[in-house]
Amino acid sequence: MKVISLNGTWQLAYGLQRPGGPQTPAQLEGADWSTIPAVVPGNVELDLMRAGVLPELSYANNIYLLRKYEGYQWWYRRTFATPQSADGDRVALVFDGLDCVAGVFVNGQLIGEPRNMLIPQRFDVTDALRTDGKENEFVVRIDSAVLAGREHQPAPVEGAIGMNWESLWIRKAPHMYGWDIMPRVVSAGLWRGVRLELVPPTRWGDIYVATASTDREKASAAVIVDSHIVTDCFDIDAWQVRISLSLDGQAAHNATHAVIGTHLRTRFTVADARLWWPRGYGAQPLYDLKLDLLDADGNVLATHTQRIGLRTIKLLRTDITTPENPGQFVFVVNGEKVFAKGTNWVPLDALHSRDHEHLATAFDMIVDLNCNMIRCWGGNVYEDHDFFDLCDAHGVMVWQDFALACALYPQTDEFADMIRREAEVIVRKLRQHPSLALWAGNNEIDVFYHGGWLASAASDPNKDRLSRQVLPDVMRQLDPFRDYLPSSPYVSPAAYATGNPYAVMPEDHLWGPRDDFKGAYYTKSHCHFVSEIGYHGCPNRESLEKMMAPEALWPWQDNEQWLTHAVRPHRNMTNYNARIALMAKQAAVLFKQAPENLDDFILASQISQAEAKKFFIERFRSGKWQRTGILWWNLRDGWPEISDAIVDYYGGKKLAYDYIKQVQADVCAMCGEAEEGMHPLVIVNDTLCEASGHLTVRDADSGQVLFGTEYRIEANGRLTAGSVPAAPNATMWLLEWTADGRSFQSHYLAGPRPFMLEDYKRWLGIMGLKGQPKHRS
Mean pLDDT of the 381-387 span? 98
State the pairing for strand pair 2-5/629-632. unpaired
Q: How confident is the model at residue 455 (pLDDT cuts 50, 70, 90)?
A: low
Mean pLDDT of the 286-296 span? 98
Alpha carbons 33 and 79: distance in angstroms, whole number: 20
Mean pLDDT of the 344-373 span? 98
Check whether 78 has a pLDDT greater than 70: yes
List of E strands, 297-396: 300-308, 313-317, 329-333, 336-338, 340-345, 373-376
Predicted confidence (pLDDT) per residue in 586-634, tens digit: 999 999 999 999 999 999 999 999 999 999 999 999 999 999 999 999 9
Asked whether the beta carbons of 632 and 649 are under 8 A apart, the reply is no
Alpha carbons 282 and 395: distance in angstroms, whole number: 8
Asked whether the beta carbons of 734 and 745 are under 8 A apart, the reply is yes
* HSE (side-chain half, CA atoms, 13 Å) at 155: 9
Q: How many other C-beta atoms are found inside a 10 Å radius of the C-beta of residue 677?
A: 8
What sign has the CA pseudo-torsion 321, 325, 330, 334?
negative
Q: According to the model, what pLDDT value does residue 32 have?
A: 84
Q: According to the model, what pLDDT value does residue 577 have?
A: 83
Mean pLDDT of the 77-94 span? 95
Check whether 770 has a pLDDT greater than 80: no
Position 88: which residue type?
A: G
Q: According to the model, what pLDDT value does residue 774 have?
A: 43
List of E strands, 515-644: 529-533, 629-632
Alpha carbons 510 and 673: distance in angstroms, whole number: 19
Mean pLDDT of the 422-450 span? 97
From the list 91, 110, 114, 94, the residue with the least C-alpha distance to 102 is: 114
Alpha carbons 119 and 172: distance in angstroms, whole number: 10
Q: How confident is the model at residue 777 (pLDDT cuts 50, 70, 90)?
A: very low
Q: According to the model, what pLDDT value does residue 457 have?
A: 59
Name beta bridge partners: 722. Answer: 681
Check whether 176 has a pLDDT greater than 90: yes
Q: How confident is the model at residue 1 (pLDDT cuts 50, 70, 90)?
A: confident
* Backbone φ, ψ for residue 28 (5° rounding): -75, -25
Q: How confident is the model at residue 31 (pLDDT cuts 50, 70, 90)?
A: confident
The secondary structure of residue 727, as a DSSP letter, is P
Asked whether the beta carbons of 402 and 440 are under 8 A apart, the reply is yes
Asked whether the beta carbons of 698 and 740 are under 8 A apart, the reply is no
Q: According to the model, what pLDDT value does residue 769 have?
A: 82
List of E strands, 8-154: 8-16, 34-40, 72-80, 90-95, 102-106, 109-112, 121-124, 136-142
Mean pLDDT of the 199-208 span? 97
Pairwise pLDDT comparison (458 vs 622), residue with the higher score: 622
Q: How confident is the model at residue 775 (pLDDT cuts 50, 70, 90)?
A: very low
Predicted confidence (pLDDT) per residue in 206-215, tens digit: 999 999 999 9
Check whether 62 has a pLDDT greater than 50: yes
Question: Residue 206 class from Cβ within 10 Å (0-12 exposed, 13-18 middle, 19+ buried)?
Answer: exposed
Distances in Å between the Cα of 450 and the Cα atoms of 60, 121, 317, 502 are: 38, 36, 21, 10
For residue 18, what are the contacts with CB-CB under 8 A and spacing of at least 6? none
Predicted confidence (pLDDT) per residue in 227-267, tens digit: 999 999 999 999 999 999 999 999 999 999 999 999 999 99
Mean pLDDT of the 315-344 span? 97
Q: Whole-model pTM above 0.95?
A: yes
From the list 480, 408, 513, the residue with the least C-alpha distance to 451 is: 408
Position 639: which residue type?
A: W
Mean pLDDT of the 687-713 span? 98
Q: How confident is the model at residue 772 (pLDDT cuts 50, 70, 90)?
A: very low
Chain mean pLDDT for the chain: 96
Alpha carbons 406 and 442: distance in angstroms, whole number: 8
Check whether 149 has a pLDDT greater than 60: yes
Mean pLDDT of the 659-675 span? 98
CA 157, 174, 534: angle at the middle one, nearest 5? 105
Q: What percentage of the chain carries pLDDT values higher than 90?
A: 94
Q: According to the model, what pLDDT value does residue 452 have?
A: 66
Question: Residue 90 class from Cβ within 10 Å (0-12 exposed, 13-18 middle, 19+ buried)?
Answer: middle
Asked whether the beta carbons of 182 and 163 are under 8 A apart, the reply is no
The greatest distance separating any two alpha carbons of the chain, rounded to the nearest whole angstrom, comes to 89
Q: How far apart are the first and last CA of the chain?
A: 44
Sheet holding 629-632, edge to edge: 483-485, 436-440, 397-401, 373-376, 340-345, 629-632, 529-533, 507-510
Question: Among the residues of 188-274, which ranges form H helices?
Answer: none
Position 197: which residue type?
A: E
Q: According to the model, what pLDDT value does residue 573 have?
A: 84
For residue 99, what are the contacts with CB-CB under 8 A and spacing of at least 6? 43, 117, 142, 145, 172, 187, 188, 189, 190, 191, 352
Distances in Å between the Cα of 22 and the Cα atoms of 37, 68, 180, 758 are: 20, 19, 36, 65
Mean pLDDT of the 677-702 span? 98
